[in-house]
Amino acid sequence: MTETFSIRSIGLIGAGVIGAGWAARFALAGHDVRLYDPDPETGRKVAAVLDNARRAQTRMLGALLPREGTVHIATSLADAVADADFIQESLPEIETLKIRVLGEIEAAARPDAVIASSTSGLLPSRLQAAMAHPGRFVVGHPFNPVYLLPLVEICGGDATTAQTKALATALYTACGMQPLQVRVEIDGFIADRLLEALWREALWLVNDGVATTAEIDDAIRYGAGLRWSFMGTFLTYRLAGGEAGMRHFLAQFGPALKLPWTKLVACELTDELTDRVAQQSDDQAAGIGLRAYEQKRDDCLVDVMTALRANDFAAGATLGAYADRLAAQAAAAAGPVSAGPVSVIDGAPVLLATRVDAGWIDYNGHMTEWAYLKVFGDTTDVLLAQIGAGADYVAGGHSFYTVESHLRHLGQARLGEALRVTTQVLGADARRLHVFHTMTGGDGGVIATAEHMLVHVDAAAERAAPMLPAVADAVAALAAAQAGLARPDAAGRSIGLPARQA
Amino acid sequence: MTETFSIRSIGLIGAGVIGAGWAARFALAGHDVRLYDPDPETGRKVAAVLDNARRAQTRMLGALLPREGTVHIATSLADAVADADFIQESLPEIETLKIRVLGEIEAAARPDAVIASSTSGLLPSRLQAAMAHPGRFVVGHPFNPVYLLPLVEICGGDATTAQTKALATALYTACGMQPLQVRVEIDGFIADRLLEALWREALWLVNDGVATTAEIDDAIRYGAGLRWSFMGTFLTYRLAGGEAGMRHFLAQFGPALKLPWTKLVACELTDELTDRVAQQSDDQAAGIGLRAYEQKRDDCLVDVMTALRANDFAAGATLGAYADRLAAQAAAAAGPVSAGPVSVIDGAPVLLATRVDAGWIDYNGHMTEWAYLKVFGDTTDVLLAQIGAGADYVAGGHSFYTVESHLRHLGQARLGEALRVTTQVLGADARRLHVFHTMTGGDGGVIATAEHMLVHVDAAAERAAPMLPAVADAVAALAAAQAGLARPDAAGRSIGLPARQA
């Protein structure tokens, strides 16, 4: 059995919403994938999902994203799985189909490859029963969109080895996901039993004409759904119990279990109900197309997870841990200073490349003031990481503080516009670092500049202190390398009206 | 019957988690409330909820919050409702108790007061059946925490008048909530039928030892819960159907309705199950107390809704509309320039007072660079609104753009610290406005300054243009009023190392 870190190539079978989502999740985490689906439209559909995923993950993780893996559309099932270290099956939820294709996968794959199934709720013991090497089979059940939602349920069957579960868990975790171990094998696992219960009641409400699909969605998203994005049902109800907690909540709302508040039977999905749900769903969508809604969904998911990251809670903690690992990997791969810049403009290296985020737009429709300073500040952070003054250095009690900044706005940036920031070191002494950033927009024109004076500090004492020798050396090397660059005209400039008015 | 805008005083009966939440929601929206609960601890408990609510709403809406209403702990039911225009009952979910107390309320209240019930799912036709004036009774079912979650279900009984429903809807909307009209009277209304279905299945999973309360919560919050914070079940599944939409989703997952993925019966809440849930909930809480968790919940809710506000979607659109209304009310009440400053420091008016938000903290534990510029930018916006160049002016195609900024950092700001920003106009001409902001921290010391040059533009042409006469006059009046202030030493300063190094 391969070790986690040796997983290089991944084979994917099935390229529906889930399979294509896996392709995007793995590729954006740096893995090469080979994907097979008999649908002749597979290439186009996967490209569309990958575009969405790249856009969303870039908004979320920006320059931290690793070099993207390749996505190869395989010509056959064997072409997809023959050389794979890890295989993920995302076929329709038909047990006989899955069992048959698992046999085909085993026939074509290496005997040590792990084979995972995306099934929403079929039992792994049944799916693996006919396999030659059932120990390497495990369920890894993800949620749509797979490239953003962290949850993946891990469930083994009777024959699944602990090693298989550990390897799948490690791979998913390394891709920024949050594995949940389903300890008891049960139809629907944990999440889909809960979702299915809610979904069955929702269908009844539509069936009985109590509410429309839009009204039911509103009943969730303006209320409990907001809580569910970071707390589940039990912690929420614990807090609803007030000072007396969960026991009080159960005493108070336990009697509601006896009330006729759910149908407690499954709804018959008649043609008439199907028509009604489909029609109401069309009305609810109000003519907004799939791609537009997917981007809206992804924007909201990215912003919600980013908001939770600031709280270091729930999916935000998962995202933060993933970002930290990516940053550490990038730092380890790059090493100090020696790593060449992405590119160079007028002799100065491009330290940051990003796009204008929707959250940075002001009421004029332009990138707002503070967002410029955020991008310039992020650029300063890249520079500090390059001179060996990144997260580890800060953790050691040393840091650079910005004491003075001078920004000039020479143009506008619009939503989605590509920004690049170059950095020139204007000077330095034992305690100070004087830098000049230049931001160019999509057309290559300069839209803003920032001049900063940074002071090196002993963070515990909160006072200026000399840089540690390695950092001082890196600063000196960088300053020497840039000594030939022309000093920007705007450096050292001050603000004022012409003399007659000021 | 009173009109919405004439609702001045609100009577609240019951001060549990929901009743106290209503007190906070109404008071923070500017209404005076009188609240009665026989619990002798009522005053302390309500104060704790109000503290949480004030903290959360201040983080979310800041200076936009209206003057807070008063919360009076009444000495009797009659004392709470006698003069109320609107009465909200939040008693335990016991039908006979509610019917009895509704009778007491009617006996003490004005005949034209609207009486709303917070019931989670009891039928309004039954609750109102014995009332003398049943037309004024309506269900307004909120969700915990009432002071943050926007959803409120409006459900009338057979006797409820349309006017009563309209008045309750208008009041809740004016307080920043999102009313959902429950058109068909049904046990559990809409939201709690869905929540109850999920909750029943969750209890079964604990009862059968499949998963713990923490695992079940994780199955929600890392997956579907993130989607549910802005899309409900149906829109989510429409997107899961891919290009073929909802009809394809129903065809693909309809068969799962036949699978044993939910218990389809109600769980018996035995003593043993109660013990197990309570114990697991204690384990899950890991010793973190109620207040700490409530603040974490509120921080996350505020940040999630703020993130959705940037997308103008779901609860974020509700929040944005509320903020816009509050801003319009504040502007209408204040008028241009004439409104005195909140206070004055060293002769310059304080234009902005805020607290350091959790999202503004960097890896050093201090307020991050861009957040200073955000606060200074917000201060500039207040100044512009004062001189008549606010949202209406911008909508008319006129605007000020910042072309140059100079920031100095003289101290640190920490999480929650109170910040005040004063503004001095240093100069102006027909097209330019030169301002100097000074930020003081909690101890009154200066922690940062910002000097800005703004240029007045014709936004459509994207070029400098003279200010409109009213704005130019307001600028001139402000500059004249501040002519006696000393020019800040830091004005006109430039950045540079001492000559020998630069």
What DSSP letter does each residue of A442-484 carry, written as one string? Answer: TTS-EEEEEEEEEEEEETTTTEE-PPPHHHHHHHHHHHHHTTT
Looking at the fold, whether A165 and A196 belong to one and the same domain comes out as: no
Q: Is the CB of residue B170 less than 8 Å from the CB of residue B18?
A: no
3-state SS assignment for residue B368? coil
Looking at the fold, whether B44 and B106 belong to one and the same domain comes out as: yes
3-state SS assignment for residue A2? coil
Measure the CA–CA gap between B420 and A449, rounded to whole angstroms. Answer: 28
Q: Is the CB of residue B430 less than 8 Å from the CB of residue B472?
A: yes
Portion 47-86 of B in contact with A at CB < 8 A: none
Contacts of A469 (CB under 8 A, 6+ apart): none
Query: CB-based contact (8 Å) between A446 and chain B?
Result: no
Of B158, B174, B189, at which residue does a domain stop? Answer: B189
For A274, which of B219, B247, B451 is closest by C-beta distance?
B247
Of A145, A162, A189, at which residue does a domain stop? Answer: A189
Determine the pLDDT at residue A217. Answer: 95
Bond into A336 cis (ω within 30): no
Portion 15-34 of A in contact with B at CB < 8 A: 16-17
Portion 117-136 of B in contact with A at CB < 8 A: 120-121
Contact B293 A235 (CB under 8 A): yes
In this structure, is residue B394 part of a structural domain? yes
Nearest Cα residue to A217 out of B292, B162, B224: B224
Chain B residue with minimal CA distance to A219?
Answer: B191
Mutation test of the interface with chain B: which of A119, A182, A194, A217, choosing the one with the most B Cβ atoms within 10 A? A194
The number of distinct structural domains making up chain B is 3
Burial class, A454, CB count within 10 angstroms (exposed 0-12 / middle 13-18 / buried 19+): buried
Looking at the fold, whether A269 and A392 belong to one and the same domain comes out as: no
Determine the pLDDT at residue B100. Answer: 98
In this structure, is residue B306 part of a structural domain? no
Measure the CA–CA gap between B409 and A171, rounded to whole angstroms. Answer: 44
> Which runs of E-coded beta strand occur in A166-295?
178-181
For A229, which of B221, B232, B278 is closest by C-beta distance?
B221
Looking at the fold, whether A255 and A367 belong to one and the same domain comes out as: no
Contact B220 A182 (CB under 8 A): no
Looking at the fold, whether A26 and A170 belong to one and the same domain comes out as: yes
- On the CB side of A178, how many CA atoms lie within 13 Å of its CA? 23
How many A-B residue pairs are in contact by the CB < 8 A criterion? 562
Chain A residue with minimal CA distance to B223?
Answer: A151
Query: CB-based contact (8 Å) between A93 and chain B?
Result: yes
Q: How far is A47 from chain B (nearest CA, A)?
A: 14
**Which tokens hold the place of B319?**
């929040």
Q: How far is A108 from chain B (nearest CA, A)?
A: 28
Looking at the fold, whether B250 and B346 belong to one and the same domain comes out as: no
Measure the CA–CA gap between B456 and B459, rounded to whole angstroms. Answer: 9
Provide the phi-psi class of B263: left if phi over 0, else alpha when psi is between -120 and 50, else beta.
alpha
The CATH number covering residue B239 comes to 1.10.1040.10
Measure the CA–CA gap between A266 and A451, rounded to whole angstroms. Answer: 65
Nearest Cα residue to B185 out of B114, B268, B96, B121: B121
Angle of the B271-285 helix axis to the A233-240 helix axis, nearest 10: 100
In this structure, is residue A313 part of a structural domain? no
Q: How far is A200 from chain B (nearest CA, A)?
A: 7
Host domain of residue A368: 339-481
In this structure, is residue A295 part of a structural domain? no
Portion 223-242 of B in contact with A at CB < 8 A: 223-242
**Which tokens hold the place of B430?**
């027909």
Measure the CA–CA gap between A435 and A383, rounded to whole angstroms. Answer: 10
Question: Which amino acid type is present at position B202?
Answer: A
Looking at the fold, whether B185 and B197 belong to one and the same domain comes out as: no
In this structure, is residue A271 part of a structural domain? yes
The label of the residue with tokens 């044993």 reads: B260
Contact A452 B495 (CB under 8 A): yes
Query: CB-based contact (8 Å) between A321 and chain B?
Result: no
Neighbours of B79 (CB within 10 A): 16
Determine the pLDDT at residue A499. Answer: 61
Determine the pLDDT at residue B408. Answer: 93
Contact B229 A300 (CB under 8 A): yes
Chain B residue with minimal CA distance to A215?
Answer: B180
Using alpha carbons, list the distances in angstroms from residue A176 to A69, A149, A170, B218, B375.
Answer: 15, 9, 10, 15, 33
The CATH number covering residue A23 comes to 3.40.50.720
Query: CB-based contact (8 Å) between A250 and chain B?
Result: yes
Contact A370 B371 (CB under 8 A): yes
Q: Kindly report the length of chain A.
A: 502
Looking at the fold, whether A93 and A151 belong to one and the same domain comes out as: yes
Query: CB-based contact (8 Å) between A5 and chain B?
Result: no
Of A189, A209, A244, at which residue does a domain stop? Answer: A189
Measure the CA–CA gap between B288 and B267, rounded to whole angstroms. Answer: 29
Contact A232 B219 (CB under 8 A): yes
Chain B residues within 8 A of A320 when measuring between CB atoms: none
Query: CB-based contact (8 Å) between A354 and chain B?
Result: no
> Which runs of E-coded beta strand occur in B76-235?
86-89, 114-117, 137-142, 151-155, 178-181
Query: CB-based contact (8 Å) between B161 and chain A?
Result: no
Contact B364 A399 (CB under 8 A): yes
- On the CB side of A211, how many CA atoms lie within 13 Å of its CA? 27
Q: How far is B4 from chain A (nearest CA, A)?
A: 23
Looking at the fold, whether B203 and B271 belong to one and the same domain comes out as: yes
Mutation test of the interface with chain A: which of B18, B239, B262, choosing the one with the most A Cβ atoms within 10 A? B262
Nearest Cα residue to B117 out of B146, B86, B139: B139
**Which tokens hold the place of B415?**
């999480």
Mutation test of the interface with chain A: which of B44, B201, B236, B272, choosing the one with the most A Cβ atoms within 10 A? B201
Measure the CA–CA gap between B20 and B13, rounded to whole angstroms. Answer: 10
Span B381-418, pLDDT tens digits = 889 988 999 878 888 889 999 999 999 999 888 777 78
Q: Is the CB of residue B143 less than 8 Å from the CB of residue B149?
A: yes
Chain A residues within 8 A of B236 when measuring between CB atoms: 144, 297
Q: How far is B449 from chain A (nearest CA, A)?
A: 9
The label of the residue with tokens 């969700």 reads: B143
In this structure, is residue B130 part of a structural domain? yes
Query: CB-based contact (8 Å) between B427 and chain A?
Result: yes
Looking at the fold, whether B71 and B145 belong to one and the same domain comes out as: yes
What DSSP letter does each residue of A123-177 carry, written as one string? Answer: -HHHHHTT-SSGGGEEEEEE-SSTTT--EEEEE--TT--HHHHHHHHHHHHHTT-
Span A226-284, pLDDT tens digits = 999 999 889 888 888 877 778 888 887 777 777 776 766 667 778 888 888 888 888 88
Looking at the fold, whether A59 and A176 belong to one and the same domain comes out as: yes
Determine the pLDDT at residue B111. Answer: 93
Chain A residues within 8 A of B299 when measuring between CB atoms: 311
Contacts of B444 (CB under 8 A, 6+ apart): none
Q: Is the CB of residue B182 less than 8 Å from the CB of residue A211?
A: yes
For B403, which of A191, A262, A409 is closest by C-beta distance?
A409
Can you give the pLDDT of all 502 residues of chain B as single tens digits?
A: 334 457 889 999 999 999 999 999 999 999 999 999 999 999 999 999 999 999 899 888 876 788 899 999 999 999 999 999 999 999 999 999 999 999 999 999 999 999 999 999 999 999 999 999 999 999 999 999 999 999 999 999 999 999 999 999 999 999 999 999 999 999 999 999 999 899 989 999 999 999 999 999 999 999 999 999 999 889 888 888 877 778 888 887 777 777 776 766 667 778 888 888 888 888 888 888 888 888 889 999 999 998 898 888 999 999 988 888 887 776 666 443 332 334 566 778 888 888 777 667 776 667 888 899 999 998 998 899 889 998 788 888 899 999 999 999 998 887 777 888 989 999 999 999 999 999 998 888 899 999 999 999 998 888 899 999 999 999 998 888 888 888 888 888 888 887 654 3
| Reported ipTM | 0.75
Q: Kindly report the length of chain B.
A: 502
Contact A200 B202 (CB under 8 A): no
Can you give the pLDDT of all 502 residues of chain A as single tens digits?
A: 334 457 888 999 999 999 999 999 999 999 999 999 999 999 999 999 999 999 899 888 876 788 899 999 999 999 999 999 999 999 999 999 999 999 999 999 999 999 999 999 999 999 999 999 999 999 999 999 999 999 999 999 999 999 999 999 999 999 999 999 999 999 999 999 999 899 989 999 999 999 999 999 999 999 999 999 999 889 888 888 877 778 888 887 777 777 776 766 667 778 888 888 888 888 888 888 888 888 889 999 999 998 898 888 999 999 988 888 887 776 666 443 332 334 566 778 888 888 777 667 776 667 888 899 999 998 998 899 889 998 788 888 899 999 999 999 998 887 777 888 989 999 999 999 999 999 998 888 899 999 999 999 998 888 899 999 999 999 998 888 888 888 888 888 888 887 654 3
Contact B278 A209 (CB under 8 A): no
What DSSP letter does each residue of A73-135 carry, written as one string? Answer: E-SSHHHHHTT-SEEEE---S-HHHHHHHHHHHHHHS-TT-EEEE--SS--HHHHHTT-SSGG
3-state SS assignment for residue B458? strand
Q: How far is A63 from chain B (nearest CA, A)?
A: 18
Looking at the fold, whether B155 and B172 belong to one and the same domain comes out as: yes
In this structure, is residue B265 part of a structural domain? yes
Mutation test of the interface with chain A: which of B94, B206, B220, B274, choosing the one with the most A Cβ atoms within 10 A? B220
Contact B501 A428 (CB under 8 A): yes
Angle at B208 between CA B206 and CA B212, to 5 degrees: 30
Determine the pLDDT at residue A336. Answer: 37
Angle at A258 between CA A257 and CA A262, to 5 degrees: 65
Phi, psi of A68 (to 5 degrees): -70, 135
In this structure, is residue A497 part of a structural domain? no
The CATH number covering residue A457 comes to 3.10.129.10
3-state SS assignment for residue B459? coil
Determine the pLDDT at residue A350. Answer: 82
Q: How far is B9 from chain A (nearest CA, A)?
A: 26
Burial class, B331, CB count within 10 angstroms (exposed 0-12 / middle 13-18 / buried 19+): middle
Contact B121 A256 (CB under 8 A): yes
Q: Would you report the helix, strand and coil content of chain A in percent, each value rounded to 5?
A: 45, 20, 35
Q: Is the CB of residue B120 less than 8 Å from the CB of residue A216?
A: no
Contact A144 B240 (CB under 8 A): yes
- DSSP tag of A386: H
For B407, which of A277, A278, A405 is closest by C-beta distance?
A405
